[in-house]
Structure 1
């Protein structure tokens, strides 16, 4: 897959020499609904013998349209993860348009002329609720007016799970509430985050449960405070474990939220190593214990429950 950055305006050097099928969306998380859009575009591309392209953006549109501070956005799929997920979907060309003020100010007709016709799109595919400006005038219902029969248009209906639309907002809410099981169902895969193992307080080692303290990138969304079954990828291998997202309230108030992963039967030194955390299942909520002994007892039960859950997945 070729990854292409577009710093507006679009230049001729970035335009494909042959027509393409172009899927549109921000695609944060590349969840089941997004996958349906890309899969529909992929089928069309295969039928026509064309390359499949996706056009997305470097930042969430809310940064431009709603004035949300860029450093406050927590993504389900920051750029590196989005690239991986798009490659898994069979995308040939992935365009990251840099969402500048000038780009945001484009009128609908200019957007269509410069970026859809401009990218040599034979077919444009998007979800039913895709917009490219003000939602009342720049939506999939009005797109044919701007297209002027220069390309075909395919609108993909909403994906539904549990009687509700599958959306990035719904995935974020599930993660914030610690419901990784629902988030994974909506995503169609197990949610992953990245990070680096850093030095913590080393308290886990003193109670028999050493942990890897994982510092995630500031722009990546971490599940809410709870205890989870996880897998952690480090040094090229996946290892089973359990993770606590919390403030370690047993050891005092006002502590920062940390991600601490205890790997089962793992004894290597991995400080400073980049890791990937796969969030498999929520075990329980956060709890405060009267003593370290009470915490140790609960951790023993958590480990049993985590091992049993992972065994069920592989049986």
Structure 2
């Protein structure tokens, strides 16, 4: 069993899970991941929590793709945060018949994070073998969820992709918008996210857009459309798909953030906005061809 929050399932997390998969194969055991939901930072109101990199449904899909047999989800509540490390081992891990646990170098568990990788084995009475995986470094930096969040907030979709090992993806459903894009020659798919995702920096992105078995190219604006609103509305995800003209309202889709093109800004009028969207679309086509 690999144990951790694993929000993002980035390269560091994947190194822990792959080690569990290797051990499972060598020991002839099924491999499970134990994660927690909601995020402890969300429940406790601490730290830099502003949404998920991988909401639960996304996490389940990625773990299945990695070859994990079971995903257990511990419901994180204020009461659960007070569970002592010894009780967590006795009442959660041992009843699941965990024989070997794989954790990251910074793994903590139980009340006030008092449980450590070093204490896990002894607390199980020696029934659980424990292996700790070292930090995953890229260019000398430790890959972590907080760094990915910071990259997304700064519009650095490329760094987020490098650390995640794949583009940052938001899934959702195409919903009706104000239909203004169609009137100016750039119809857009307005996507309502299916989970509480980290919202990247407002601005324009080159994206890949998944619709069923199709993968389409497009240019997306994340933001509040300041040319038409006072900026107080919730950010929207609106994608203009290239060479595409079908109604896809109600469809479940995904959007991969490939590269940030420019920040969102307010234009003096429709003509200036249309000219800029045309430039953005041309730039996004160039990026996605590369």
- Say yes or no: TM over 0.5: yes
CA root-mean-square deviation: 1.8
Give the counterpart of 2:173 among 196, 205, 210: 196
Q: Does 1:160 align with 2:109?
A: no
Matches within 5 A, 1:140-219: 140-217=117-194, 219=196
Give the counterpart of 1:43 among 14, 22, 26: 22
Matches within 5 A, 1:27-106: 27-64=6-43, 66-67=44-45, 74-106=51-83
Gaps of 5+ in 1: 1-21
Residue 266 of structure 1: aligned partner:
244
Residue 130 of structure 1: aligned partner:
107
CA contact (8 A) 2:121 2:127 kept: no
- Kindly state the Cα deviation for residue 205 of structure 1 after the two structures are TM-superposed: 1.3
CA contact (8 A) 1:193 1:222 kept: no
Q: If the length of structure 1 is used for normalisation, what is the TM-score?
A: 0.86
- State the 4+ residue runs in structure 1 displaced beyond 4 angstroms: none
Q: Does 1:311 align with 2:283?
A: no
CA contact (8 A) 2:175 2:192 kept: yes
- Cα distance in 2 between the residues matched to 1:267 and 1:224: 28
Q: If the length of structure 2 is used for normalisation, what is the TM-score?
A: 0.93
Aligned length: 287
Give the counterpart of 1:297 among 269, 275, 288: 275
Task: Render the CA deviation track for 1:164-213: whole Å, top value 9, x for unaligned.
Answer: 22111111121122211111111001111111212222111121111111
- Cα distance in 2 between the residues matched to 1:50 and 1:41: 10
- Cα distance in 1 between the residues matched to 2:224 and 2:136: 36
CA contact (8 A) 1:190 1:279 kept: yes
Which shifted more, 168-177 or 262-271? 168-177
Gaps of 5+ in 2: none
- Cα distance in 1 between the residues matched to 2:51 and 2:66: 23
Q: Does 1:286 align with 2:274?
A: no
- Cα distance in 2 between the residues matched to 1:134 and 1:45: 29
